Structure formats: structure tokens, C-alpha cells
Structure 1
Amino acid sequence: MRMTHLAAYDRDLRTDAEVRHALSVVAHGPLRLAVFPGGHGFVSYADLDGLDSGDIETLVDVALAHFMHSSGIDSIEWKTRGHDHAPGLGHALETRGFVPEDPESVMIGEAALLAQPVDLPAGVELRRARTDAEVYAMEEMQGRVFDDPRWRVRAETTLQRIREDDSVELWTAVADGQVVSAGRLEPVAGTRFAGLWGGATMPEWRGRGIYRALTAQRARSALAIGKTYLQSDCTEFSRPILERAGLVKVSTTTPYVWTRPAD
């Protein structure tokens, strides 16, 4: 099952699927060099199989030069995968100023396994965020959890996304009028997949089943629109929850991020 899921991941969830909502995309060899709102560059590819370390260093140089000469690009993310054959990639990225972030687990499983009833604590209810105020409240909570001072910029990007694509669902858990947990469901067009993204819960509300309830709700929504598989890049905090629900770890992913130096 793991290898079947991994093959589907490489086939359906890389390259075009990753840059579908980019402002612009340029192809260079196996790479897709994409620009996203907020000055974010992103590098996607299906694999780098057959390339040696010298070839890979050249690709890194090409990508970095492309984005450095693009106005308004403040950061670049090169998302590596643990199962790729890419000799010397990590070294090439780090020597050019990319900084590795924490590794995450790539999880895949059947939506039906997650769409199970989960009891919520008293006074907590699940809501789909639709209005500007609801989206801002969700993004502000996530900004606090992830210590992200740019949460307002992300809120504007999220609002633009849902205005352009109403298939994206934002789900929140609310207690006493405050968002205490949230996450997105993003169906991947042309595939049987939907992605679970942006999961966050306020520290004082963790361990009460709220994240599992949000995940189950998103799974039910995925099934309702014909998506049978769910995929998530998750932290070590979330991985056991998803594993208990039936998702399988098929690989790891480590983002390497370059940030433009201050003038």
C-alpha cells in the first residue's frame, strides 16, 4: 500500500498540482519555477533521477538566478523529498544560502478512514469560514500558533484563493466566539486527492480531540465531492493523530528556504 500511495503522490501531487495557483510558472528542464502572491518563489519537480551532483548544482544556480532577477521575490522554497534520488542536493542548497526547515511526514490515506464521528468538548463547534471576518480570525489564530507576523498578508492571500476557487474549504473550531483550531481542505483537480493543510490548534485546547474532529469533518467534505484520498504534510505533533486515523507515512519532506538579504 505504501508504494502504491507513493507512486500516486509523485504522479498526481507534484509539478503542475503544486503550482496550479501560482501567478507565473517557468519551466527549466525538470524544474517548475513558480511565483506566488506575497513575493514567494517556489521550486517544483517530479524527480531529479539520473542527474549527478554537478547537474543538480547547476539547476540550483539556475533557479536562484531566476528568482533573484525577478522583482518582488523575497523568499524561495525548494521542497525536497526524502525518497528522491538527488545526490548532493542538500549541500548545494545550503552552500547557496538556503536554510532547511524542520522535516515533515508525507501522509496519505483513504478519506473514509478519517470520516468517523469524534466527540467535541462542551461549548466547541465546527464552522466553515466563509466571510472576511471569519477568515481573518482563522489566520490570526494560526499566526499566533506558528509565530507568523505576516498573518495579515496570508489572510489576504487566502481570501483571494477562496474567491477564485470555491472548492477550497476553511474549517474552524470555535469556543466562546474565538477560533481555537482550524484547517483547510484543498481538492486537487483531476485527481482523487484532497489536501489537508494549515492545521493548527491553540496550545491550551490541545489534547481534547478538536484537531481529530476537524480532520474528520474535512474527510467527510472530501468524500462528498468525490475525493477518496487525503494527503497531508504534517509535523511530529500531528503525525500520530493521522496514523491512528489510518493515514500512512510514505515519505518525508524538508523545505529549504532562501530569504533575500536586507539591503
Structure 2
Amino acid sequence: MNKEKLLELFNKHMRIEITYPGSRVEQAESVVRQVSLSNERGFILFSKMNESTADAIIEEQITYFNNLKQSFEWKVFDYDQPLDLRERLRSRGFDIEEQEALMIMDLAEGDQLLNILLKPEIRRVTDVQGIWDIIKLEDDVWGVSHQALGERLVQDLHDDPANFFAYAAYVDGKVVSAAWMYLHEGTPFASLWGGSTLADFRKRGLYSSLLGIRARDAAEKGYQLLMVDASSMSEPILEKHGFHCLARSTPCMSPRY
């Protein structure tokens, strides 16, 4: 599948039409908003602007979310217009985070990953305690609290167990590596998240096994495309397993309301 077709599918299914758990989608004239129904932040995943309209639309969105007393993330892709959108957001007080690579794999071309030998430490996590074991791992790896993430994953496990898949690598009863996946019904996409590993357990094939088991489960459920927002550390590993960089995106966090 060529890049132009993949981008068309990605924009349609994952930026415009998608509704995330715990959110409502609002398709305004110039943006698509994901408004949180709880205390989580909102998102703008898609916008349609040009150089003459961008500044006014940015102000409209800041005012809109401020009135809701809700912070939000504006996800800017490198092909979004105007091309200086990220810098316009920066000048308006947004915090600009590290750029991510949008990595896509067509499972029709994924024999290498689908047939990878899985490490025996990998297990599917299906209970709340398992989710909090994963969150402890995240806290240990990154040195910050992931309480809000844990609450979201527990909610997703409860609300939509058919489309939320979590996995962990256990050594002596302890989670040493973990990842999760969402199947997006009505689309060809499964999105992959996480992939953290304790330092002492890296370079043992656990990350690759977590990719492999998610690819197999997605394929078994009839999904064709895997997508990952990859860090600079993960990008070369994903490339090695057959993923291709489709675009680059930057999370831009709104100024405080």
C-alpha cells in the first residue's frame, strides 16, 4: 500500500472520525476536537487551516477549552497546514514536546513480525492488578507517577475488553516489560502503546516479543494496519521489524487555562 493511500486512511479513521474512550468528538468547521468527559485533557487531532486563518482558529480553540476548564493537546503532523503551525502554537504559549514518528506496518507484508519467536515470559494481562503492575513498571522506568494512565487503562479494560489488549513480561513474578494495544472498530487500524522495559532486562528480545504478540492478535481479529507513535529510541527497532515512517508529529500542550 503506498504512502498516499495510507495517509488518506490514517487521516480519515484516526484523526477525523475516531472517538476515544471517555471523550466526545466535535467536528467543527476548522478542527476536530476530542473533549474529555472526565478530568483528563482534551485533544485536537485534525485541523483545516491556512496562513490567513490559523491564528484566529488557534485563539478560538484556546478560548473554547478554557471555558471548559480543560487543558488539551494539539497534535501537529508535519504535513498539516500552515507548515509553521507548531511555531504559531509555541508563540501562543503551548509547550512543544519531543517529535514522534508515525510508524505503520501493513500486516499483509508482516510475515517477519507475525512469525517471531515469542519469549515465554510474555503474558496477556486481563485483570486490574495486572494493570497496576504495569503502571509500577512505568513509574520505575520513567521516574514519574503514571497514576492517571493507570486509571485510564483500568477503565478501558472494564469498558471495552474486546478491543483493549495489555501484555507484560514477568520474571520471578515481577513485570519487567509491558505494552498494550487498542483495536479500533470500523477501521483497519490497531494502535500500539507502551513498550517500556527495566534497564536490567533490555536487549533480551522482550520488546520484539511484545510487538510480535500484538501483531498476531491484531491479525487474528482481522486488522490490517499497525500504528505506533514512536520515540527516537523506538523508531529504529520498529524499522527493523518492518514498520515504515509515514509522517512525524509533535504533541503541543495548551497553556494553562
Both proteins in one fold, TM over 0.5: yes
Given that residues 104 and 252 in structure 1 are in contact (C-alpha distance below 8 angstroms), is that contact kept between their aligned partners in structure 2?
Answer: yes
- Which residue of the partner structure matches residue 51 of structure 2? 53
Residue 54 of structure 1 aligns to a residue in which SS? coil
Listed as ranges, the matches of 1:22-171 within 5 Å are 22-36=22-36, 37-45=38-46, 47-48=47-48, 51-71=49-69, 73=70, 75-111=71-107, 112-113=110-111, 114-118=113-117, 120=119, 125-149=121-145, 151-166=146-161, 167-171=163-167
Residue 196 of structure 1 aligns to a residue in which SS? strand
- Which residue of the partner structure matches residue 209 of structure 1? 205
Shift of 1:158: 0.9
- Which residue of the partner structure matches residue 179 of structure 2? 183
The alignment's C-alpha RMSD in Å is 1.8
Given that residues 12 and 191 in structure 1 are in contact (C-alpha distance below 8 angstroms), is that contact kept between their aligned partners in structure 2?
Answer: yes
1:182-231 superposed Cα distances (whole Å, 9 cap, x missing partner): 11111111112111112211222222211000000000000110112101
Given that residues 182 and 191 in structure 2 are in contact (C-alpha distance below 8 angstroms), is that contact kept between their aligned partners in structure 1?
Answer: yes
Residue 53 of structure 2 aligns to a residue in which SS? helix
Given that residues 20 and 34 in structure 2 are in contact (C-alpha distance below 8 angstroms), is that contact kept between their aligned partners in structure 1?
Answer: no
Q: Which amino acid aligns with 1:59?
A: I
Shift of 1:248: 0.7
223, 227, 252: which one pairs with 1:231?
227
CA 1:147–1:43: 2 relative to 1, 3 Å: farther
CA 1:107–1:152: 2 relative to 1, 3 Å: same
The number of residues matched between the two structures is 251
Residue 53 of structure 1 aligns to a residue in which SS? coil
CA 1:154–1:38: 2 relative to 1, 3 Å: farther
Q: Does 1:245 align with 2:241?
A: yes
Q: Which amino acid aligns with 1:94?
A: R
Q: In the aligned structure 2, how far is the partner of 1:141 from the partner of 1:193?
A: 27
Given that residues 201 and 211 in structure 1 are in contact (C-alpha distance below 8 angstroms), is that contact kept between their aligned partners in structure 2?
Answer: yes
Q: In the aligned structure 2, how far is the partner of 1:237 from the partner of 1:87?
A: 26
Q: Which runs of 5+ in 2 are unaligned?
A: none
- Which residue of the partner structure matches residue 6 of structure 1? 7
Given that residues 140 and 152 in structure 1 are in contact (C-alpha distance below 8 angstroms), is that contact kept between their aligned partners in structure 2?
Answer: no
Shift of 1:12: 2.0
CA 1:104–1:87: 2 relative to 1, 3 Å: closer
Given that residues 157 and 164 in structure 2 are in contact (C-alpha distance below 8 angstroms), is that contact kept between their aligned partners in structure 1?
Answer: yes
Q: In the aligned structure 2, how far is the partner of 1:195 from the partner of 1:177?
A: 27
249, 254, 258: which one pairs with 2:250?
254
Normalising to structure 1: TM-score of the pair?
0.89
CA 1:247–1:257: 2 relative to 1, 3 Å: same
Q: Which amino acid aligns with 1:31?
A: V
Q: In the aligned structure 2, how far is the partner of 1:254 from the partner of 1:127?
A: 32
- Which residue of the partner structure matches residue 192 of structure 1? 188
Taking only the aligned residue pairs, the percentage that are identical comes to: 26
